Amino acid sequence: MGGAGQSLPEEEVPQLVDGTDVRAHEISGQDAFVHSCVDGVLNVEDIADVTVLSPEEVRKSIGRLVALDLVEWITPNASSAPPETEVVEDVEIDETLQKRIHETFFRADKLNHYEMLGVAIDADRAEIRKAYFALSKTFHPDAYYGKRLGPYKAQMEVIFRKMTDAYEAVGRPKKREAYDRYLRQSIEVSAAEQKIGRVEERAQAMAKALTRAPVAERQAQPVGAEAAASKWRANDVPTGGAAPQTAPSKPGPSRSAPSVVPGTPEHERMLRKRELLERRLGGRSRRPASSPARSIPTPTARVGQRTALRDLTRSLKQTAALTGGVDRAQNHLENARIAEAQGDLAAAATALRMAIALDSADVSLKDHYRRVNSQLRVQLLDIHRDQAKYEEDNNMWAAASISWAKVADAAPDDPVAPRRAAKALLTAGGDLRKARDYALRSLELKPDALESRLLLARIYIDAGMDNSAVKELEEAAKLDPKHEMVKNLRKQLGG
C-alpha cells in the first residue's frame, strides 16, 4: 500500500485470564471491584469512570491482579504476526535469508515508504539512496543469478518493486513533498478511525459495567470497623456480571495485611461510597457504622434498562461528590471541548460518546455529539477523497480501492466514488465481485453513465461472464455506438 499503514501507538487494555478463578484468592475489596469490571474492552480510564477510582488506583489494582495471574494486558485489534516460515530445502539461499524475505513480503503492504527503505522520515536524499541500493543487493532477484530461488523469486520481485516505488516517491524533492503530505493525512485518518472504531464497543461495555459495578461493590463484605481491616473475600464478588446469592458471613479470625485500615481517609471513603450505593440500590434502611454489614442479595425486581442506567449514573455521580471525586461525564465533556478547540474532532467525538455512556439522560451531550460527529464525517470524507486521488495518480490501486470505498460509504449519493472504487479493484486485480457491486451501485445512481457501463463490461470479461459483458456493451452502444472502447471490447468477445 506504500503509505497507508502506520506505526501508531497501540492501546493496552486489561483482560481476564482464561481458566482462572478469582474465588481461589483473597484480595482487597478495591481489587475485587476492579476485577469485576475487567472485560478486555474497557481501558484503565474507563474502569476508573465506572468504579469512581483514580486511573492510578485502577492501574495499581490491575498490577496486583496481573501478579496473581488473574488479569493480563492485551492490545485490541493488534496486527497478527507473520505466519511461520517453512524452510524450503531445494533452494540455494540460506535459512536466515529465507526468513527475511518471507517476513518482508508479509509486511510490505503495511509499511510506508520510509519503513520500506528502513530509513527515518527525516532522512536526507543521500541516506535514502544508500539504503535503496543496499537493499537491492539483498532483494533483487538478479543478485542471485543462476541460483535456485524457488517460491522466493516471486516474493523478491514484489519486494523489489515496492522498494523501487518507495525510492521513486521519496528520492525526489517534489514527489517527496506530495508523499509526505499524503503520509501525514494517512497517520491522522488512521488515528481517527482507530478511536472511532473502538469507542462504540467501549461505550456499550461501559453501560454493562455500570450495571455490574454497584452489585460488585455491595457484595464486597464485611464493612464493619473490625472486619474492614481484613481482606475481603473474592468469592463474595460476582464475576461475569451475575451476583451470587450469598449466606450471611460468619465472623472469622482477623487476617494480616489489611487492604483498608480503619480510620484512614480511604476507609471512610469506601464506607461512604458503599453506604450510598446500598441506600440507592439495595434498600432505604441506614445501617449504623459500628454494626457489621451482611451481604445484600441481588435485587430480583426487574427494572427497565434505561431506568436502571439512569439511576446508576446518578448514584455514581452522587458517590463522586461525596468522596471528593470528579463528575466523570463532565470530565469527558471538558476533554471534548479542548479537543474540538484544537481541531481534533475524532478525540472530541470519542470523549462525548463516553460521556453519554456515563450520563445517558443528558440531552445536550447527545446534541453535542451529533454535531461533532457530523463534522468529523465531512472531514474524513474530504481526506479519503484526497488520499484516493493521490493513490490513483501513483498507481497505488489496492490502496485507492479502499479509499474510494470509504468515500462511497460516506457519500451514498455520489455515483463517482463507487465507479472509481470498482476501477481500482479491477486494476489492482482485487475482488471482482466487489468491483461488480460498486459498478452496479454507480449505475443505479446514474444509469446513463457510459464509463460505468464499459467498466462493468470489463469486469464481467475478466470474470469470464461473457454473456453479461455482451449485455452491458449493448447498453453502452445505445449511449454511444461509435465509442472506440465499445468496438474494442466487442472484438475482444468475438462479436
pLDDT at 328 over 50: yes
428-448: pLDDT as tens digits? 999 999 999 999 999 999 999
H-run or E-run covering 435: helix 432-445
Question: Residue 492: what pLDDT?
Answer: 87
307-320: pLDDT as tens digits? 555 555 555 545 54
Burial label for 237, CB within 10 Å (0-12, 13-18, 19+), is buried
CATH superfamily of 95-181: DnaJ domain (1.10.287.110)
**Length reported for the chain:** 495
Please compute the mean of the pLDDT values over residues 271-300 and round it to a whole number: 44
Please compute the mean of the pLDDT values over residues 32-50 and round it to a whole number: 91
Q: How far apart are CA 223 and CA 225, in angstroms?
A: 6
**What average pLDDT is seen over the chain?**
80
113 within 8 A of 3, measured Cβ to Cβ: yes
CA quadruple 55, 57, 60, 66: dihedral sign: negative
Q: Which CATH fold would you assign to the domain 412-492? A: 1.25.40
pLDDT at 304 over 60: no
**Of 460, 492, 489, whose CA–CA distance to 476 is shortest?**
489
Give the least confident one: 60-69, 268-277, 313-322: 313-322
Q: Which residue has the higher pLDDT, 7 or 37?
A: 37
**Of 395, 404, 406, whose CA–CA distance to 429 is shortest?**
395
**Percent helix, strand, coil in the chain (nearest 5)?**
65, 0, 35
403-417: pLDDT as tens digits? 999 999 999 999 999
pLDDT at 424 over 80: yes
Question: Residue 253: what pLDDT?
Answer: 43
226-256: pLDDT as tens digits? 333 344 444 444 444 443 433 344 444 444 4
Q: Which residues of 4-13 are buried (b: 16+ CB within 10 A; e: fewer)?
A: bbbeeeeeeb
Please compute the mean of the pLDDT values over residues 7-20 and round it to a whole number: 81
Q: Which residue has the higher pLDDT, 267 or 403?
A: 403
Please compute the mean of the pLDDT values over residues 9-22 and round it to a whole number: 88
Question: Residue 85: what pLDDT?
Answer: 59
Question: Residue 319: what pLDDT?
Answer: 53
Please compute the mean of the pLDDT values over residues 141-165 and round it to a whole number: 92
pLDDT at 288 over 50: no
DSSP code for 475:
H
pLDDT at 2 over 60: no
425 within 8 A of 434, measured Cβ to Cβ: yes
Question: Residue 432: what pLDDT?
Answer: 96
Q: Which residue has the higher pLDDT, 16 or 278?
A: 16
Q: Which residues of 283-310 are buried (b: 16+ CB within 10 A; e: fewer)?
A: eeeeeeeeebbebbebeeeeeeeeebbe
pTM strictly above 0.75: no
Q: Which long-range contacts (CB under 8 A, 24 or more apart) does 264-268 make?
A: 267/228
Count CA atoms within 13 Å of residue 26 on its CB side: 10
282 within 8 A of 243, measured Cβ to Cβ: no
Please compute the mean of the pLDDT values over residues 385-414 and round it to a whole number: 95
Give the least confident one: 64-73, 156-165, 323-332, 372-381: 323-332
Using CA atoms of 41, 46, 52, 56 in order, give the dihedral in degrees to the nearest 10.
Answer: 100
96-132: pLDDT as tens digits? 999 999 999 999 888 999 999 999 999 999 999 999 9
119 within 8 A of 128, measured Cβ to Cβ: yes
Q: Which residue has the higher pLDDT, 404 or 92?
A: 404
Confidence of residue 182 (pLDDT cuts 50, 70, 90): very high
198-224: pLDDT as tens digits? 899 999 998 888 876 555 444 444 333
Q: How far is CA 319 from CA 217, 324, 357, 359, in A?
A: 12, 9, 17, 14
Q: How far apart are CA 111 and CA 83, in angstroms?
A: 17
Adjacent-strand bridge partners of 302? none
